[in-house]
Amino acid sequence: MAQDTLSIPGISTPVSRVALGTWAIGGWMWGGPDDDNAIRTIHRALDEGVNLLDTAPVYGFGHSEEVIGRALAGRRDKAVIATKVGLNWKDEKPFRDSTPARIRQEIEESLRRLKTDYIDLYQVHWPDDKTPIAETAETLAALVREGKVRALGVSNYSVEQMETFAAHAPLATAQPPYNLFERGIEADILPYLVRQKLVGLGYGPLCRGLLAGRMTADTTFPKDDLRSADPKFQALRFAQYLAAVDRLRALAERHGTSVMVLAIRWVLDQGPMIALWGARKPAQIDGVSDVFGWHLSDEDRAEIDAILKETITDPVGPEFMAPPNR
């Protein structure tokens, strides 16, 4: 399958503009793991031309990385691995920790779990208010010099924090939340990416499944599912977002596609963005190939904006997901 690609400085292989997001593969906050299906999902993604795999130690407290390591046995050269650093945890409760000591510990643990001797893209998962960004960046720059990491990125950083990081280490990417319903980065982060020629990895492009187009008013979530605590999936607000999805579905059908494909295409049309397509079953890769070979028009984007304005009177962002500082 032909995919659009982007080049990330420091990484020799062009990366697919749809990446496989593997938070759910770790199982934590997604109803538990299913390793056999997860491995088949990773193989299906690679077969479909999705060569960028995005993970993190906190996804299942190492489990997502371990599954990717098993899935890539004999296929490491087919994948570009993006993982993260800077979250610690106690009793399965994450907190931010980007100290040099924690980074040095995490890199070795991630390399072991992923069964590789280098990581293509190493991203700070959340800014740590108690550790100077300069210390974090300089430690990561050392990992690049040592050959353990090819390129560096940050996730959930403000523009000011990115500027500080970039003064101490080469910054190649930023990973913010971004989807049709969560567009806060358009005020400052997205323009900064364009100005600095950085690549954005938009996480949550389907907004925790809302934009997959399969949910109804009767959809419920178990207590160990992230969405049971997500304000978007509660009471009256959930109805507003479902109404928006219904209207978006009609627009997608005029293009002969699904609301899910429409939502991913929308992210890619906003700038130098890669969309993280979360999946844990092979069938959830269906539709990736439909994202490419077309674009939304200015009229389409204006209609989308009108739909959101008319249906969602009480919008909310993804702030609930932020882990605490130490």
For 184-204, write each residue's pLDDT tens digit: 999 999 999 999 999 999 999
Is the pLDDT higher at 218 or at 326? 218
Q: Give the mean pLDDT of the chain.
A: 93
**Per-residue pLDDT at 238 exceeds 90:** yes
**Per-residue pLDDT at 300 exceeds 80:** yes
Q: Are 25 and 65 in contact (CB under 8 A)?
A: no
Active-site residue, 192 included: no
For 76-114, write each residue's pLDDT tens digit: 999 999 999 999 989 888 999 999 999 999 999 999 999
Residue 34: pLDDT band (50, 70, 90) is: confident
**Per-residue pLDDT at 254 exceeds 60:** yes
Q: Are strands 87-90 and 93-96 parallel, antiparallel or unpaired?
A: antiparallel
State how far the alpha carbon of 256 is from the alpha carbons of 253, 277, 291, in Å: 5, 20, 12
**pLDDT at position 303:** 98
Q: Which of 59, 122, 178, 203 is catalytic?
A: 59
Task: Give the separation between CA 296 and CA 305, rounded to whole angstroms.
Answer: 13
3-state helix, strand, coil in the chain (%, to 5): 45, 15, 40
Task: Give the separation between CA 32 and CA 54, rounded to whole angstroms.
Answer: 19
- Architecture in CATH of 5-208+265-293: Alpha-Beta Barrel (3.20)
Alpha carbon dihedral 12, 13, 17, 19, in 10-degree steps, equals -110
Residue 1: pLDDT band (50, 70, 90) is: very low
Secondary structure of residue 128 in the 3-state scheme? coil
Tokens at 169, concatenated: 């280490």
Nearest to 97 by CA among 57, 66, 59, 65: 57
Residue 31: pLDDT band (50, 70, 90) is: low
Window from 71-85, 87-101, 135-149, 238-252 with minimum mean pLDDT: 87-101
Element (H, E) at 166: helix 159-166
**pLDDT at position 185:** 97
**Per-residue pLDDT at 28 exceeds 70:** no
**Per-residue pLDDT at 326 exceeds 80:** no
- Name the residue ranges covered by the structural domains of the chain: 5-208+265-293
Total-model pTM: 0.93
DSSP code at position 49: T
Residue 33: pLDDT band (50, 70, 90) is: low
